[in-house]
Every structure is written in C-alpha cells, then in structure tokens.
Structure 1
C-alpha cells in the first residue's frame, strides 16, 4: 500500500465516530416512530433467512403466509433485495437436502431375528417370537417403502417445492429492489466500513462473500427508503452483532449506526428490525401461525447456539494448550495461523493505479487486530495479542485473504 493511502486510512480511523455519526445534532433532535405507529404504512423488506424459515413450517402455515405476503404485495409494500433472491437460490437446495437427509435417517436398520439356538426351537414361546418377527418384517418393509417414496417426492420437487411455488407465484419483478452501486464502488464502500467498523458487513469478513452480502442488502434497503420516503420494517432472523447490540448472547437493540444512517438517508424516516414471528403478531395473524414461526425460530437459534458453543469449547481447549507453551511459542503459533489465512495484498492482489490502491479479489481488506482478537481473545493475554498485532502492523496496515493457490509464475 502506498504511504499516502496508509496515512489517509489512519486519518479516517481517527475520525471514525465523525464518519459513523456525521449529524451530531440529529442524535438528540431526531424523532423515531414506535413499531405500532409505523406498521400500517411501513414498507416490509425480507432477509434471506426469513425466506428460508417456512421450510420448517407446515402447509396450513404456508397458506396463511401466502395470504399476508399477497396483501402486502398488492399494496406495494413488500420488497426483496436482489441479493436476498440470489442467496435464497444458493441456499434453498441446502434446506431441501436437510429435509431429505432427515427423512432417510428414519431408516435405522432392519430388525434381526438371530436367536440361533437349537435348544429354543421346540418352545412355544420361540415359535410365538418367530411369528411376531415375521409380522414385524412386513411392517418394516412397508415403513421403509414409505420412506423411499417420501424421499423420492422430495427429490422430484426441483424448483416446485411448496415454498418455492408460493414465491414463484407471488414475487413479480416489482418486488425486487437493487442498490445503484457498481461492483467496484460496492467493494470500496465495504472497505471503508471495514476500516471504520461501520455496520453492516464489517464483522462478516470471514464469510465467503467477505461481508458484501449484508452491505448489498443494506444499501438496497436504504435506497428504497430514500425513494419512497417511508418507514421500513426489515424482517430478519439474523442475530449477529453486525445488526444488533448484544446482551447475554441475544439481540437487544438494533445498532444505532443503522437506525441513524437510515434516518439521514430517508429524510427522517424510521427503521425497525424484527423477526418474522413479530411481524405476524403485529399484523394480527392467527396465534397458531405465530407459534409455528416461534418454534421454527427457536430451532434455528438452537442450531446457531450449538455452533457458538462448539466454538467456545474449541477456544477453551486452545487456551489449555496455549497455557503450556512459552511466550515465544505462543507468538509463533499465532503468527503462523495469521499468515496461513492472510497476506500482504502486494503478494496476490492487482493494484489499481488510478485509484491508488489494491483490489481485494481474495477478500478484505482485513484488520490484523480484529482477526487476531477474533481468533485468540480468551486464549492468550491481551499483552501477547497486542505484541503480535504490533508486529503485524509493521508489515502491513491492511491484509488480503490468502488465495487457494497462487498463480504459477509463467516465467
């Protein structure tokens, strides 16, 4: 990175609060509507996870959702960012595969009658057991045949499963919204938010898309609000700190940076962020549907918590292992981990002369402190983390992801 750009980035970081909250007066003078005062006229925008949630719900619930969505679409109040549609297309088959595998797991293995003891053969009780086993075999045969038939039906759905069929019927082109930024401008905006730690997206640097997905959705939502000059209810099951302030591992309040940016971009409108179950509640849907949505949300959160707990357990094991190492060994392992995942962009990223910066085609730019703290906080002391980060920042201010393979030298 050029020294000029590095100095510019440092200056931006120093004034990160000014970048995140440019309208200081509005922090105290802005008036935000309560959800109950907004929902009757607010626009509704769905996240990907909300489109996927009905795969955990029944047909009766789907029909009720269809009725609500149709009414909102007819009223020109229901919208889906194009990025959400694309993420749905990518993840839909994963949900179907999850259902398909759950069905096949019902095949727990055939029962066996392997009491091969001649001394038992003349007993009436043994003959009674053999007759019962014969009946069981017939029942099992029909049971497994039904499992195969159900699995075959799921495989045959292709793009006509119950959820996708409803969406195909309802979601016309007017429902889809898109931000106006080019791919290059979107990446630059993502880099700016990474640098200043402005949500959303900057905490998703380790995702496959480097966090650009959440940003694309956010910018689409912002432009819709600015164009329509209306409040927006963003419906999402995402509980990550990119969108929420956390309390005891759960979402507490939406990030104020998001609420304030929406207000500024929409001439004073209000943004609400809620779950699907809350949307159903405020629109006074049947209690059975609300309960079904709550159950689906609970299952989704339990899966998330299970992954989170596994990560915590891994950190505990790492902490125990690191405790047995000398300081120099700890530092060496931390740096080895870092360099296996991140590198100086000069190694693999094209340099844009006109813009005076690298094009982060392998993900990034990544901040050394954020990545080291994310991996080793709670494993080693802050003193060691600071020492490693200081060493890394003497090499490079911003980092690229490591490509799967470096291109071979043609010479």
Structure 2
C-alpha cells in the first residue's frame, strides 16, 4: 500500500531524519515573518533549532521578496487603537467649534474660557499624535536595527534562490494563470487578490527548478493553511495536497510539508533541542493563513445560510473597520476576528464603539480563536446596546472550523429578525 500510495503517507522517523540531514528545508515568507510575532523564549527556541539545520535551509527568491514586502506591516502592527482614539477627538473639535460660534457674546462662555476648553482637547489630540509618532519612530528604528533580520541574515547566508529574469517571471505568471483556472495547487485560492495573486505559484515554480537541478527529499515549511496547500479533514490539516507530492516527484523530489510549530516539535527531537509547549502554542498562532482561511470559509458558510447576501472587506479610512461587512435581508452585520494566544480583554476591543459609529450596522459578531474575558464580552454588548445593535461573541476552540461561527451568525440573524432591525432586542 505504501509503495503504491506514498503521497498519502507522512514520513517515518527514519525518512524524516533523512530529510533533516540530507534534504532541502524550504522556508516560506510567513515563516520568515513569524519571529516578529513571538516572545523572547519562543523566538530563541525557534532560531536555535533552525541554526542547527542551517546547512539544509533554502529560501525561494519569491519568499524572500514577500518577506521584505510585508516586514514593515508586521513590525508596525495594527492601527485600529490609534484610529479609535483620534477620530472622536477631531470630531469633537469640529462640533465644539461650531457650537461656540452660536455663543458669541455669551456672558459665561467667554473667549478666554473658550480658548481653555479648546486647548484641553487639542492637548489630547497632540498626545495621540505623539503616541502614533512614537510608533512610527519605533518602526523606523526597528527597520534600521532589526535583530530578527540580523539573525535571518546569519542563518540564511548563501541559502537564497536566484532572482528569475523578467522574461521568466512573465512566462511563469502565464503558467500560473492557467494553473489557477484549472484549480491546480498551490495558490489558486488567491486568484481574486489584487496584489501578488500568483505569489504561491511562483514560489512553487522556484522550488521545482531547485529540485530539478538537485533532486532529493524536500520539506516545505509554510504557515499558509489554505486548502490549496494542505489536505483537510474535519477542519484539520492532515498533510500536503497529494497533487504537490506527485508534481514534485516528476522532477525527482520526495516532498513533504509542515506548519512551523509542527516542524519545530518534530525537528527538536532529531537535533536534540528544546522547544516548550508554551512556545509551540505561541508559534502555532503565527499561522498567517488562519484568519484568511476563516474568512474564506466563513464567506462560504454565510452564503449557504443566506443565498442573497453581499459580503465585503472594508478598508479603514476614518477609523476602525470590521473585518467583514455582510448585507442581508435582516440588515447589515459587521464581523470582527481576533486570533490571540492570550485571553481577549476589554482593552483589546475598546475601539468597537467607534467602529459602530463609523460603519452603520444592525448586528455585530465578534469571533475569537481563544477565550474572551467576561468584561470584554460585556464591553461589546454594552457598546452595541448604546447603538441599538444586536451583538454576539463566539469563542471557537478549533479555529479552522467555521461551524460555531456559522451557528452564531444564524442566531444573530434570527435575533435581528425576531426583534426588528431598529426595535428593542435582548441578549
């Protein structure tokens, strides 16, 4: 059986050790970015194991390019908190100034009092700008003195693939377009992306050329958990797509694939290094495809529940925006995702009320891949209540499965339908 259907099997311990000692270990861009999201211990353990295997590592040019393209965004983090602080203050300045214009000559609100009041608000705005400016300064410093990048440079010296010529890239993009049309993995689930939609296919072609020139065992480490990379069963990844294994075999490669956390857990035993359970948990949360997979699958589930819906991903302009806006017959629903290793607190979602003001909605669903504190849940419910918005919070233990989210979304629609979009409702 194994000889006839080897593409469905995971490597034995002996085969795995052979990969780590004589094969090629390929790191995707999301793996290169993962250390920026880790604490000191998890980062140290990750680099320690990879340092032990440095002679086997190889980076496709496409992966390195994506790393440098996305690195500033990963270092900078999200801007929702700053947006949530700044916009109500600037709105307040406009409203108060307009109100002051109606009070000219008022015996209590003198010009001197007016200046004092405005100065306090402007001081608050300046404080937020200093916070944001400090963040920008820290970003600039981090980009100039980047300890993570320095470690990668040491480990990956001489391990980078060659840049394809412009002619080769154009030809590969034409091939990628046809592969996507025929649903040939990897990458076809990115076909609607506006930027770098052929990135996964180009990376795969980089790797195919590498193995064609030097056949042997290949281990691809990628945190992209979409179904155009991994086989899925009951919401869990169970190995690489068999098409990838078969295609790599045509150029002499014995292919296998893992997420970073799974790789570190198994490789640590081979190289006799330590990686703690706490670090593995933190590393597993760096999978950049987790939220994207949830979004893609949730869109599908919502379409099954409500056939006539419009789903969009708003771009934040004047403040925090939800991850998804879903327009249904019952009204507009905003959906926000949280993928934190630690419990969600009220501080993590203190921007939601400003979001409700920026994006009119009738229902709101907060989805968390981990625990949400009772105070945070109450914060969401109370903020929504002040805006007469139906709201639900859902925790999902298996955050690759959309079932719990879909059920909560359906319950939210029923709540909106039962009480009326703009009528009183209860939780």
TM-score of the superposed pair, with normalisation by structure 1: 0.53
Q: Supply the distance in 2 between the matched residues of 1:323 and 1:69 (Cα, whole angstroms).
A: 48
- Structure with bigger helix share is 1
1:81 is matched with 60
> Which one of the candidate residues 44, 48, 53 is aligned to 1:63?
44
Q: Supply the distance in 2 between the matched residues of 1:66 and 1:175 (Cα, whole angstroms).
A: 17
2:146 is matched with 161
Structure 1 residues 99, 194: closer, same or farther in 2, change over 3 A? closer
Structure with greater Cα Rg:
1
**1:1-400 aligned within 5 A:** 34=11, 36=13, 37-38=15-16, 39-41=19-21, 42-73=23-54, 75=55, 77-98=56-77, 151=135, 152-177=137-162, 182-209=168-195, 211-266=197-252, 269-284=253-268, 285-287=274-276, 288-297=278-287, 301-302=290-291, 304-305=293-294, 308-309=297-298, 312-313=301-302, 316-317=305-306, 319=308
Q: Supply the distance in 2 between the matched residues of 1:302 and 1:210 (Cα, whole angstroms).
A: 18
Structure 1 residues 213, 59: closer, same or farther in 2, change over 3 A? same
* Structure 1 contact 46–236 (Cα < 8 Å) conserved: yes
How many residues align structurally?
263
Task: Encode CA deviations 1:230-249: one digit per residue, 9 max, x unaligned.
Answer: 21110011111211233334
* Structure 1 contact 177–224 (Cα < 8 Å) conserved: no
Higher relative contact order (CA 8 A, sep 6+): 1
TM-aligned CA deviation for residue 293 of structure 1: 1.1
Which has the higher mean CA deviation after the structures are superposed, 285-294 or 50-59?
285-294
Task: Encode CA deviations 1:248-270: one digit per residue, 9 max, x unaligned.
Answer: 3443332111100111111xx32
- Structure with bigger strand share is 2
What do you get for the CA RMSD once the two structures are aligned?
4.0
Q: What runs of 5+ residues in structure 1 fail to find an aligned partner? A: 1-25, 111-142, 325-411
* Structure 1 contact 43–78 (Cα < 8 Å) conserved: yes
Structure 1 residues 159, 171: closer, same or farther in 2, change over 3 A? farther
TM-aligned CA deviation for residue 100 of structure 1: 6.7
TM-aligned CA deviation for residue 85 of structure 1: 1.0
* Structure 1 contact 45–79 (Cα < 8 Å) conserved: yes
Structure 1 residues 105, 88: closer, same or farther in 2, change over 3 A? farther
* Structure 2 contact 176–202 (Cα < 8 Å) conserved: no
TM-aligned CA deviation for residue 158 of structure 1: 2.3
TM-aligned CA deviation for residue 214 of structure 1: 0.9
TM-score of the superposed pair, with normalisation by structure 2: 0.51
* Structure 2 contact 28–222 (Cα < 8 Å) conserved: yes
Q: Supply the distance in 1 between the matched residues of 2:130 and 2:38 (Cα, whole angstroms).
A: 21
Q: Supply the distance in 1 between the matched residues of 2:8 and 2:211 (Cα, whole angstroms).
A: 16
Task: Encode CA deviations 1:55-110: one digit per residue, 9 max, x unaligned.
Answer: 2201232233233333322x2x1011111111111111111221576689799x99
